[in-house]
Amino acid sequence: MHLLVSCPPNISVSEMIKYIKGRSSKKLQEEYKELRKKYWGQHLWSPGYFCRSVGNVTKEIIEEYIENQTEEEDDIFKIVE
Q: Which residues are catalytic?
A: 65
CB 25 within 8 A of CB 44: yes
Rounded-to-integer distance, Cα 62 and Cα 4, Å: 8
CA angle 33, 34, 40 (to 5 degrees): 85
